[in-house]
Structures are given as C-alpha cells and as structure tokens.
Structure 1
Amino acid sequence: MTEFEFDGRDIAFTDGQTVGAALIAAGVRSWRTTRREGRPRGLFCGIGVCFDCLVTIDDVPNQRACLAPAAADAIVRSQEGDGRGHLAV
C-alpha cells in the first residue's frame, strides 16, 4: 500500500481511493471544523456536493476529500474554518 501524511500520521491507501475514503478506512471521522462554531465535519455526501469534507492538500486549502485522489507522499491537513488562515495579513 501507498501512503500520504495526514496531520503527521501516515495513512495507507490503495490505487483509485480518494483522500476521504482513505481517511474513513483509517478510522478518521472528522477533519475540518465549521467557520462559526468550530464543529467537527468529515465525509457526509461523498459525491462533492456538500463541501463538508474540505481539507488542505499540499498547502492548497478547500479541497474536497471525497473527490481528491489520494497521492503518494501528499501532505494532507485538517482544515479549520475557511482554510485561508495563511492569507491573513
């Protein structure tokens, strides 16, 4: 199996798996928080409609984990709020 890093943890995946599917298979249920109340979110619809599964992949925020193909050696981070903290002045 191949792996990517999620918040400092190695996550194994198989060819064709999305980031979201690999996280669920590894027992990770939430990987972002809501903007206003900081509530945990993860995979909900699984087809890219709801945007509940947003993650930051290789420093690009707001990636839908349910649609993003898992890639070897990618750095995936959980996302808080809108995922644009690095743009703040």
Structure 2
Amino acid sequence: MTVDGNEHAPGLHSTTATANHKIDAAVASRVADTIQRRQRVIAALDRAEAHGHAVSIAEITRVAAIHRVFLYRHRDLLDRLRAMQTAAPTT
C-alpha cells in the first residue's frame, strides 16, 4: 500500500512519471513551434509593410512557410494582415 492508502502495481509511479514527462516535452515542443511560426509570420508582415508590398494570405503563408490554417487559428495575425490589405493603396 502507498502513503495515500491506494494500491498500485509495481513501477506504476515511474511509468506515470515517464508518460507525464513525455507529454510535457511534447507540449513544450508544440509551444516552441507555434512561437517560431508566429515569429515568421510577423517578420513576413513587417517586411511587406516596410517595403509597401501588397499582401495576401497566399503570399504571407508562402514567405513564412506556414499553412493558411495557422493564420485562421491566430486571429490577431489574420486581423493584422487584413488591416494591411485595407490600408494598401489601390492602383
């Protein structure tokens, strides 16, 4: 019996700890990937804005090497892109 009064199979605690560590590592990796993708999108938007380039979802996703769904999941980035499209002079 354990300290909390429950019976566990031998090695269950270490197996659970290992599984939790793997989950934590996977979550940390996913967060890091999302941060890197956001940084690439922001850099692409900054470059387009600095050079006065017309922006489109297709162009930003190509330059930032992301899937367009990423923009739809990160509404602040999509809103910035749309604001840039609205502000862009028409020819």
Q: TM-score, normalising length from structure 2?
A: 0.26
Q: If each structure's helix is expressed as a fraction of its own residues, which one has the higher value?
A: 2
Q: TM-score, normalising length from structure 1?
A: 0.26
> Relative CO higher for 1 or 2, CA cutoff 8 Å, sep ≥ 6?
1
